[in-house]
Amino acid sequence: MTTNPSAELLDSLLTVAGQAAAVREEVRVWSMSGVERVTFPDGSTAIFKYAKKPFDSEDQALRLAHTFGVPVPQVHASAVLDGWLGMLMEDLGPSVRDADDLDGVAAAVILHGTRTARPLLVLDEERLRALPAQALEHLERLRKADRWQDADDVEAALDRIAQAAEARSAGATLEPFGWVHSEFHPTSLHIGDRGWRLLDFARAFTGPGLLDLASWHGTIEPPHPVRLRVLLEQYVTAGGTPDALAPRGGLTAENWALGWHRMWITEWFMDQAIRWIDDPTTDPAYLTAVRRHLTDALRLLEV
C-alpha cells in the first residue's frame, strides 16, 4: 500500500477538474490527513484535502450537508486511492475573524435542525451505552499486543462506567437528535467575507446534538459545566430546541453531555491506539489523554 498517495490523488482530481497542473502549498498536514491550497495556471485556487481511513468518507458527508442546505465548502471533485480520500474543494479564502460562542450556537442550530442523513452512522442510546464495553475490548487487544500493561486503573474506570451505562445513557435520543458534526470547535467554523461555512465533516454521524455543544470549548482545559449551561441557554435562545436543557440519564443536560463526550473521546483514542495509529511509541501520550478523560467522565456521569 502506498504510504501517502497524495500526488497520485491530486493528479486524478486535476484530470477530473480539467486542469493540467497546480502549485501545492501546505496549510496543515499530519500523519492521517493533510490540507493544501493549490493554485492553477490561471491564478484561481482550490483546497486539496486528503485523508486515510477512517476519515475517507468526508466527501459524502459534505455533499449530503450541502444538499440539505448546511453552509459547507463545495466539493468540486473527489477520489479514493489505496484507502486514501482526496478532495478538491472550494477555497473560502482568509477568515475575517475567529468564531465566538454565538457563532457556534447559530451554526449548531442550523446543523441540528437539518434532516437526518441515512448513510451516517447512528449513535443512539444502545450504541452510546456500548462505548465503555468497546473501549474495554480495545484495552484487551492492546494488552494482547504487550501494550498498556500498567492500565488497571483504566480498566477499573471503564468497568464502573459500563455498569452505570444503561441508566446514564437514557435520554440520548431526546432532541436535538440528528446531525452531529463531532469535531465542533471554533476552528471548524470559517467566517469569511461571504458568511460562515462549517468545515471538517470527516467524523459526522447521527446522534445527540449535545455532544457537539460539549465539544465546542475543547478538551485541553477541564470540562466546565456552568460554561456549557450558558452555551446551551444561548443555543435555545438562538432557536435550538428547549429540550437541550432537559435533564437526561439522571443528570443535568450539561453534565450528561460533557460526561458522554469524554467517554466518546476515550473510546476513539483507544481505537486509534490499537487500530488506526497502532504505534507503540505513542502509547504514553494516549494513556495520559485516556486517563484524563476517564477521570472527567467518572465525575460528570457520577459513577
Residue-by-residue pLDDT tens, the chain, 303 positions: 346 788 999 999 999 888 888 899 999 888 789 999 999 999 999 999 999 988 999 999 999 999 999 999 999 999 999 889 999 999 999 999 999 999 999 999 999 999 987 789 999 999 999 999 999 999 999 999 999 999 999 999 999 999 999 999 999 999 999 999 999 999 999 999 989 999 999 999 999 999 999 999 999 999 999 999 999 999 999 999 999 999 999 999 999 999 999 999 999 999 999 998 899 999 999 999 999 999 999 999 999
pTM score of the predicted model:
0.94
CATH code linked to domain 101-300: 3.90.1200.10
Rounded to whole angstroms, the Cα distance separating 5 from 194 reads: 33
Same fold: 6-89 with 101-300: no
Question: Scanning the structure block, which residue is given the C-alpha cell 485541553?
Answer: 220
Rounded to whole angstroms, the Cα distance separating 206 from 178 reads: 5
pLDDT, position 53: 87
Rounded to whole angstroms, the Cα distance separating 176 from 142 reads: 35
CB count in 10 Å sphere of residue 125: 19
Q: Does domain 6-89 have CATH number 3.30.1490.390?
A: no
pLDDT, position 2: 44
pLDDT, position 19: 87
Question: Scanning the structure block, which residue is given the C-alpha cell 454521524?
Answer: 205
Rounded to whole angstroms, the Cα distance separating 8 from 164 reads: 49
pLDDT, position 1: 39
Domain boundary assignment for the chain: 6-89, 101-300
